[in-house]
Amino acid sequence: MALKKPFTGIGKTYKNMKITKICCIGAGYVGGPTMAVIAKKNPNIQVTIVDINEQRIAAWNNPDVSKLPIYEPGLAEIVEETRGKNLFFSTNIDKAIDESEMIFISVNTPTKTYGKGKGMAADLKYVELCARNIAEVATSDKIVVEKSTLPVRTAQAIKSILHNIGSQVNFHILSNPEFLAEGTAIEDLLNPDRVLIGGESKIAIESLANVYGSWVPKDRILTTNLWSSELSKLTANAFLAQRVSSINAISELCEHTEANVNEVAKAIGMDSRIGSKFLKASVGFGGSCFQKDILNLVYIARSYNLNEVANYWEQVIIMNDHQKRRFADKLIKTLYNTVSGKKISMLGWAFKKDTNDTRESAAIYVTDHLLNEQAKISVYDPKVPKEKVYSDLNYLNTRTEQENQDNVIINDNPYDTVKDSHAIAIMTEWDEFKNYDWKKIYNDMKKPAFIFDGRNVLDKSEMNKIGFEYFSIGQ
């Protein structure tokens, strides 16, 4: 849609499009760290992160930065340095929108749980609410930046809402997907492989490029059209997840052929055409993005009747579900085909190390399966709060909340967790697991003492020497 008038602003004129105030809607895993780094690197820009969740904003404003709502290495230090200077957390969404020249939308876009596209399509209701909110309160021109991962052509919907509700105000829409991974978000932000900006207005693209330009070399700031940018994000996650599913597929073959998946991964990873990253076999990938984004890609392909394309990518998810399931099945089979009444300890609940995020974590699905087989579960994770474990299980609706409460215990200490258990399942690759006193753990467990290492973090021969029956992925 054509703009109503040149981008001059009402009451303000953006001659050089210099940005002085930024607002970010959504104080989550992406919005929080991204804005903290933008604020740190641009002391002259005032950055305000807003959220409808009052508790979350209060946690971001907690004077004790070790209590921020998100755990991410290096984040607390940056928040401490910038908060109250040029980084602010607030629930006053309208004020922050109106004051800012640039607004990032970083709200969640979960897979739809209802209606058309249920279980596949992205639910865009929060993004739409943000667009309507911006359109209603803006009294000067705005650059609106899509930060949330969105289906291709969502910018069209945002544009249409902004241009049809707004009064005299002009809006430019940019797509600026994040590629940061949890646990290394700050490092990824400080030193990105690339920053991608998709858009139609050169001036708007340039003003966002200048924000990143404070610390990112120019040749790493890539500009494309809006639709390429949106699709690139989904594609990047699909390719990464595909590598994990590919190596996980090979891990099952290894278990039947005496090949060792770590050796295979090393051998193929040294081929510079393949590369060594994202070749670690595991109990299955998790996290907020991989599954959601691939389902979304599949849904979009189906909606254009591209069934071969859809089926191709869907197989990445099917393989991942299989990997989680076969891990749980192997544990049950090895424990003489029953875990009923047996204590199984889950070490790790987060979807990967160095984060307290548990979205789509393999631990949830493996536990659910074991509970169906009447196991008693104990859980230890260094960063995940107790309530989160219960809410993850309750969310599945497989059994009553009371049943989850009765059959799952959560400890603050790994040694209490594993005491008297029949088996340990390692679900997250936390570094500390390697340094435990495994002899003591062995002595405290029921015999035979089993370990199922879903992350290949322990040394097989060392564990066998202690006396454990040790099983890992693909070896």
> Which positions are catalytic?
178, 233, 289
Among 135-143, 250-258, 273-281, 307-315, the segment contacting ligand UDX (CB under 6 A): 273-281
- Nearest position to ligand UDX, beta carbon: 28
Q: Which stretch binds ligand UDX (CB under 6 A): 176-184, 300-308, 376-384, 431-439?
A: 176-184
When binding is defined by CB under 6 A, the residue of 207, 282, 296, 421 that contacts ligand UDX is 282
324 makes contact with ligand UDX (CB under 6 A)? no
Tokens 């797509």 belong to residue: 175
> Does 59 help bind ligand UDX (rule: CB under 6 A)?
no
Q: Are strands 21-25 and 102-105 parallel, antiparallel or unpaired?
A: parallel
Q: Which stretch binds ligand UDX (CB under 6 A): 49-57, 164-172, 377-385, 395-403?
A: 49-57
From candidates 40, 41, 326, 352, binder to ligand UDX by CB under 6 A: 352
Contact with ligand UDX (CB under 6 A) among 45, 138, 289, 424: 289
Helices 226-257 & 261-269 angle (0-180, nearest 10):
140
d(CA 122, CA 379): 31
Q: What is the smallest separation between the CB atom of 12 and ligand UDX, expressed in angstroms?
A: 26
Q: Is 287 in the site for ligand UDX (CB under 6 A)?
A: yes
For every residue of 292-338, DSSP letters joined together read HHHHHHHHHHHHTT-HHHHHHHHHHHHHHHHHHHHHHHHHHHHTTT-
What sign has the CA pseudo-torsion 280, 282, 288, 291?
positive
x-marked contacts with ligand UDX along 15-34 as a string, rule CB under 6 A: ----------xxxxxxx---
**Is the CB of residue 101 less than 8 Å from the CB of residue 13?**
no
In this structure, what is the dihedral angle of CA atoms 157, 159, 161, 163, given to the nearest 10 degrees? -150
- Give me the helix-helix angle, 362-372 and 307-334, nearest 10°: 50
Asked if residue 126 binds ligand UDX (CB under 6 A), the reply is: yes
By CB under 6 A, the residues from 84 to 113 that bind ligand UDX are 106-109
CB 347 within 8 A of CB 414: yes
Contacts of 133 (CB under 8 A, 6+ apart): 25, 93, 94, 97
Residue among 35, 51, 332, 424 that touches ligand UDX (CB under 6 A) = 51
Q: Which residues bind ligand UDX (CB under 6 A)?
A: 25-31, 51-53, 56, 106-109, 126, 129-130, 148-149, 178-182, 237, 240, 244, 278-280, 282, 285-290, 351-352
